[in-house]
A and B are shown apart, each in its own frame.
Chain A
Amino acid sequence: MLKIKGINKNLVLVFENGSFEEYTAFLENKFKDNKQLFNGSKVLFTGKGLNFLSHEQIAALQRLCLDHGMILNNSEANLHKTQNRDVVIYRNLRSGQKIRSEGSVIVWGNVHESAEIMAAQDIIVLGKLEGVAHAGFYGDSSSIIFALSLSPTQIRIGNKISRSPKDQVKNPYPEIAYLEEDTICIKEYNPNNNLTRMKIL
């Protein structure tokens, strides 16, 4: 009913379907759970759900955000500019090298141990991923991490962290990491499974 996405240093609240009370309860819960993430962030309201709210209700929701230390940022222009902040890398990322993107990151090469990738959206590695990858670092929990060979030291999606098991098996097929009910899951990449559906929403 309400989605929180991170786009270009903005927290974007996408109102889908729901009532004012539901939105309020949802946001209060979220804000309580994760004070650091929200405190000081710029917030932007968007989505069809807003059409069904009165001005007073929207103002009340904005007040709620302000009370939790957020800054209102109501220009959608900011959003559109950010649509293409993706970074494409045509080399190996070696130990100590760090890539940060406000969009997605695509690496045509390997990501070695102790290299780091941070992306506000997805991370796609067309090679081995052995370093640290953080997708959706503004808290977008629909972000995914894909690699032809996925054996990272650590992966983070949104605000969840998962580290590799001690005796990691290197699977010879492409794998994808995603968030399912607050747990980072890894499975073999299959274009027909429901991950794509997850992303469209």
Chain B
Amino acid sequence: MEKKTAESQVIVVTSGKGGVGKTTTVANVSASLSKMGYKTVVIDLDIGLKKLDLILGLENRVIYDIVQVIEGECTLRQALVKDKRFPGLYLLPAAQTRNKDEITPEQVKKICEHLKSDFDFILIDCPAGIEQGFRNAVGAADKAIVVTNPEISAVRDADRIIGLLESAQFKEIKLIINRYQTNMVKKGDMLSIDDLLEHLCIDLLGVVPEDSNVIISTNKGEPIVLNGHSKAAISFNNIALRLTGKEVEFPSFEEESLWNKLKSLGRNIFPGK
């Protein structure tokens, strides 16, 4: 498979707070991009606490890792793991037995420069926190995706991260709201999309609703976009489409009422009316 676009995008996916769904986002968006025919590589920079290989279901195929590439034990090409289910999806795994401060932002940048000639999208999975791991991940990227949950602790950390990205001269910072629950928002128990956008003042890239299918697919090691018509899969596909520059409308996330369901059923049965 060949590279499709002239200009490669290096995108870091970050959040500050842990457990908001960075790795799940990276896995699903990259899988979706490669399904659309873009050559995509994901770099796991959570050295010492790697999970991306697990979520992609590639753990048993990892031979070399990014630290070994940097230390010259193997070539970059040797370390890349090809995902057989998706043409053009590759993983550069993290080392589990090493430490985040064993590599520097310059080294990550050099790796990305090499990868640019072969890939349309380079997605970097950033570790939680704002220390060395964050600096490594951010240094090489020119675009950033901030993942957050509609809860106040995640939003606070996202705000901090956006501040750091802005001072690192990032021009394009976009927001993904993960684990959104429309019924809780309706009851006033959860921050709404508008609340979040008003507070964080950045552009929205996508909203992923809470979906228990995500846990199932994570446990199986299969990205949910692989065979999904679930709500989360559709959202991840939309996010991938927006990354490629297409305009995709944001669905309203309203639960369909019984009356509307009956109406559409009626229309299907009696198409003439």
Contacts and interface: CB of A to CB of B under 8 A. Distances in A.
Majority SS at the chain A contact face: loop
Contacts of A95: 156-157, 159-160, 163
A96 B166 CA distance: 13
Contacts, number: 26
Contacts of A97: 163
Interface stretch (A3-11, A107-115, A157-165): A107-115
A113 B201 contact: no
Interface residues of A, number: 12
Nearest to A109: B201
A31 B166 CA distance: 44
B76 to A, nearest CB: 35
Contact of A113 (B156, B162, B164, B166): B156
What's the interface size class on B, roughly?
10 to 19
B166 A112 contact: no
B263 interface: no
- At the interface, is chain B mostly helix, strand, loop or mixed? helix
Contact of A110 (B162, B164, B166, B201): B201
Contact of A96 (B160, B199, B201): B160
B136 to A, nearest CB: 19
A30 interface: no
B14 to A, nearest CB: 14
Contacts of B166: 91, 94
Contacts of A94: 159-160, 162-163, 166
Interface in A73-96: 91-96
Report the 10 A-B pairs with minimum CB-CB distance, sorted nearest first: A94-B163, A95-B159, A95-B160, A96-B160, A94-B159, A97-B163, A112-B159, A95-B156, A94-B162, A96-B163
Given A93-B163, A97-B163, 11 more contacts: A92-B201, A94-B160, A94-B163, A94-B166, A95-B156, A95-B157, A95-B159, A95-B160, A95-B163, A112-B159, A113-B159
Interface of A: 91-97, 110, 112-115
